Chains A and B, each alone.
Chain A
């Protein structure tokens, strides 16, 4: 186990040191990715100021949703950047994956350690700022359970997005062109999850409940934290399904990933 942690720590440290060598692009990117996040939110704030609320959600409440998604997506994008579908697919075609297979270390660990994009800190920081902003605008009645549950929800979100990335990386074993379709789910999903789910049409909400269980990762936990009633009448356990949904998706993704590696090793494409 200490060998595994040692490998991971060393691989990540290589990535961080490499990125520090390119200081200017690093800083530009840090600021730019953060700016995209904050400007998205500022736009939303202006729109909401005009209409007052979205489906009964006040600006502060939407900001809470938004901040949760942005923070966890940013963290995921940093931790799971080795599985970024487009980049992973290109690297694999350049023979990089073969090089990893030649080393006597678990392959998943190596891919995880093959990238660690620290400039995502820009996005994470903006996410945290929005989250803090939300907490100043609304009053959450904090209980012991809520304090404990918040980091659980955040890590479930990271696991969920990470799972989507792994699924995308796995699909790139078969096709590189279709990766854009995966990105629709990842980026589209993130975007959708930043708003109260009740605003969406029935079929779309069903998709994000029963196919890709995003609704249990952000919307339901947020209802719980904000103390809002459930307009969709799910069972009362719904807000607490975040870890099941998040780590369930990650587990399925890892199983698919293992399957993809076997496919890769039998086709070499």
Chain B
């Protein structure tokens, strides 16, 4: 099967106007402009296969939203090629968007004053979803997303978590082959996040929907995505398995040891003591030069050990390091 999303050398450059304030300033804005060029997306290429669930991450202003907007057909690229689900998104907008779904973080596609169910009915008409399929999807999603308690409530009265669930349901009612999620868990509590992750997982597995999601919350990526793409300054820094990212840039791992008795010195070659609290000692060791089993072997020949635990650095710290130390830039 050929990739469902093909992106090659995609660029989006903006001219940002300098703004003058006040009434006279607004007249001036109308006639004269000074511009600054912003390379929001600066030559990225990737393919996504049908059924993949890909995380797209990067700091604020890295170009995530601009990319998603181009993929969803909202923005026309400055240059480069986009070929998605047999369409060029911005050129065949209407026929393209009929088969995709999108949820943009804090913005709702639903009608503010309508009960959720009536918004869904309206979308059924707009997307021409056959009644039987609509009912089947509705039954499935209302149970998965637990919509029943608020399906008759106007959207304006919903909590953020409820609204996000309603929006996810709305985005899936027409069985899109492709789903774009821009910050689907932003501002939600742990329970709400978990429910939304379950839903994303479910539609990816059961419906085979290809999903691209951007997020600030790296635990979303850890729980959902095998593949992750990292963008910064408009360029793709990394595209691959999350596991490999961790191995390459994970930095130092920790080994926490509970000794069976007090020792005066607990130093060991190849690792550094970073914390000591009674019988508990924390070592740090480099990924490339020392393995966990090797270190544990050395320690157990020197000391009597009661218990131990290897701690991987969390992905959040890993990614922060990549941004801060520009580890991926050539």
Which A residues are closer than 8 A to B by beta carbons?
Answer: 3, 6-7, 10-11, 14, 17-18, 21, 94-96, 98-99, 101-106, 175, 177-178, 180-181, 262, 265-269
A98 vs B103: C-alpha distance in the bound complex, in angstroms? 11
Q: Which of A7, A99, A104, A265 gathers most chain B CB within 10 Å?
A: A104
Are B107 and A181 in touch, CB under 8 angstroms? no
Q: Which of B19, B93, B118 gathers most chain A CB within 10 Å?
A: B93
Residues of B within 8 A of A267 (CB): 14-15
User: B97 is contacted by which of A104, A262, A268, A269 (Cβ under 8 Å)?
Assistant: A104
Is B26's beta carbon under 8 Å from chain A? yes
Is B181's beta carbon under 8 Å from chain A? no
Are B95 and A268 in touch, CB under 8 angstroms? no
Are B98 and A102 in touch, CB under 8 angstroms? no
Are B122 and A101 in touch, CB under 8 angstroms? no
Are A101 and B125 in touch, CB under 8 angstroms? no
Known: A102-B102, A104-B94, A181-B26. 9 other contacts (CB 8 A): A14-B114, A96-B107, A99-B104, A99-B109, A101-B93, A177-B25, A181-B30, A266-B78, A267-B14
Is B111's beta carbon under 8 Å from chain A? yes
Residues of B within 8 A of A266 (CB): 75-76, 78
Residues of B within 8 A of A105 (CB): 94, 126
Are A175 and B29 in touch, CB under 8 angstroms? yes
A72 vs B125: C-alpha distance in the bound complex, in angstroms? 32
Residues of A within 8 A of B112 (CB): 18
Residue of B nearest to A105 (CB): B126
Which B residues are closer than 8 A to A by beta carbons?
Answer: 14-15, 19, 23, 25-27, 29-30, 66, 69, 72-76, 78, 90, 93-95, 97-98, 102, 104, 107-109, 111-114, 118, 122, 125-128, 154
Residues of B within 8 A of A102 (CB): 72-74, 97, 102, 109
Are A98 and B69 in touch, CB under 8 angstroms? yes
Residues of A within 8 A of B98 (CB): 104
Are A99 and B66 in touch, CB under 8 angstroms? no
User: B95 is contacted by which of A17, A21, A104, A180 (Cβ under 8 Å)?
Assistant: A104
Residue of B nearest to A262 (CB): B76
Residue of B nearest to A265 (CB): B76
A180 vs B22: C-alpha distance in the bound complex, in angstroms? 12
Also in contact, A99 and B113, with CB within 8 A (given A104-B95, A104-B126): no
Are B114 and A265 in touch, CB under 8 angstroms? no
Are A14 and B111 in touch, CB under 8 angstroms? yes
Residue of A nearest to B29 (CB): A175
Are A268 and B125 in touch, CB under 8 angstroms? no
Are B125 and A10 in touch, CB under 8 angstroms? yes
**Can you name 7 A-B pairs with beta carbons within 8 Å?**
A11-B122, A95-B107, A101-B93, A102-B109, A105-B94, A177-B26, A268-B14
Q: How far is the CB of B118 from chain A (nearest CB, A)?
A: 8
A269 vs B40: C-alpha distance in the bound complex, in angstroms? 13
Also in contact, A94 and B109, with CB within 8 A (given A265-B74, A267-B15): no
Q: How far is the CB of B186 from chain A (nearest CB, A)?
A: 14
Q: How far is the CB of A66 from chain B (nearest CB, A)?
A: 30
